Amino acid sequence: MASPIKVVVTGAAGQIAYSLLYQIASGSVFGPDQPVVLHLLDIAPMMGVLEGVVMELADCALPLLAGVLPTANPEEAFKDVAAPFLVGAMPRRKGMERKDLLSANVRIFKEQGQALDKVARKDVKVLVVGNPANTNALICSKYAPSIPKENFTAMTRLDQNRAQAQLAAKLGVPVQDVKNVIIWGNHSSTQFPDPSNALVKIGGVEKPVPAAINDDEFLKSTFVSTVQKRGAAVIAARKMSSALSAAKAASDHMRDWFLGSGDRWVSMGVVSDGSYGTPRDTVFSFPVTTSNGKWKIVEGLTISDFARTMLDATGKELDEEKRDALEVCK
């Protein structure tokens, strides 16, 4: 058995963490032979609730769970960690503008970047889930200059999983028979869920999804807006935001980053190098492949006029968020 790795989940007393912690501790993320020590970070007023989570983790009697450390101190939480799931953030309250939320949350990610810089492993793989996830990841990376910027990513995997599920339902095939749907840009309503390179296995043969669906109007309109608005649809029905599916997506993202994505493309928010005419130095979601703990942007895809407009719109939003966030951090 390998020696344990330290994994931190922030917002550990919250609803996404409640599903995520079990997946990490039961071996679904780092594999069935990798023990983990879980560091649980939340704010001081939540320590009582966190105590309950610690009790439940113990009561799960999980063989791979080698230790649990609940704390409200970021430096203690991030000490020597290999994999931080940065989930904790302030939720959007009634009457709060997007800008107010951004300003509250980028401060959290500035502080956490500084703490990671000081005490985390230099090969740490950071996944930011808390919103605005892309810009929070950018700020976190900027305040952790001793850690390579490639090690900071934002979660758009939930959007990818939603898109894959929508296409599979339309085609009447199992979800795993659809692959290579892409989420471009921001994890927000400007994201571009792009089915143009997706493949579907029908009768054992892979075919392009656009040809199999053969309905341009559906693919450019209904499909795109269903995926963009899926989070709001879940809130309307559940009166709470997506948690089970968000935790599953966070697990998928980190597992693929650590263990490899195989022959599938996955979408991750990563620091843009300007690929596909996207704004450099923003955390932009691209199709990537992963192996040996590293991601690589899929190259050489054709960008249609429609896709260009969509990529530009989401890129513009990310540039604006970055400008506002850097202003807040001054």
Q: Is residue 199 near ligand NAX by the rule CB under 6 A?
A: no
Residue 105 assigned ligand-binding role: yes
CA distance 330 to 327: 5
In the chain, alpha helices (H):
15-25, 47-59, 74-78, 98-119, 133-142, 157-171, 209-213, 216-217, 223-228, 230-238, 244-259, 305-329
Per the CB < 8 A criterion, the answer to whether 164 and 146 are in contact is no
- Contact residue for ligand NAX among 5, 66, 90, 119 (CB under 6 A): 90
Q: Across the strands, what pairs with 10?
A: 41, 86
CA distance 63 to 49: 24
CB of 138 to ligand NAX, least distance (A): 14
Q: Is residue 254 near ligand NAX by the rule CB under 6 A?
A: no
Q: Is residue 119 near ligand NAX by the rule CB under 6 A?
A: no
Tokens encoding 65: 């769970």
Residue 98 assigned ligand-binding role: yes
CB of 219 to ligand NAX, least distance (A): 22
Distance of CA 228 to the CA centre of its chain: 15
Which residue's C-beta sits nearest to ligand NAX? 14
- Contact residue for ligand NAX among 242, 272, 278, 282 (CB under 6 A): 242
Q: Is residue 307 near ligand NAX by the rule CB under 6 A?
A: no
Q: Is residue 91 near ligand NAX by the rule CB under 6 A?
A: yes
- Contact residue for ligand NAX among 6, 14, 102, 314 (CB under 6 A): 14
- Contact residue for ligand NAX among 170, 187, 248, 255 (CB under 6 A): 187
Distance of CA 124 to the CA centre of its chain: 16
CB of 97 to ligand NAX, least distance (A): 15
Degrees to nearest 5, angle at CA 107 with 101 and 110 = 135
Specify the residue, 162 or 170, whose C-beta has the smaller distance to ligand NAX: 162
**Helix, coil or strand: residue 187:** coil
Catalytic residue among 157, 187, 230, 248: 187
Residue 93 assigned ligand-binding role: no
How many CB atoms neighbour CB 168 within 10 A?
18
Per the CB < 8 A criterion, the answer to whether 82 and 8 are in contact is no
**Helix, coil or strand: residue 174:** coil
CA distance 12 to 168: 33
CB of 214 to ligand NAX, least distance (A): 30
- Contact residue for ligand NAX among 13, 127, 183, 288 (CB under 6 A): 13
Q: Is 187 a catalytic residue?
A: yes
Which residues are tagged catalytic? Answer: 187
Indicate the annotated binding residues.
42, 92, 98, 105, 129-131, 162
Binding positions for ligand NAX, rule: CB under 6 A: 10-11, 13-17, 41-43, 46, 87-91, 108, 129-131, 133, 155, 158, 187, 241-243, 246
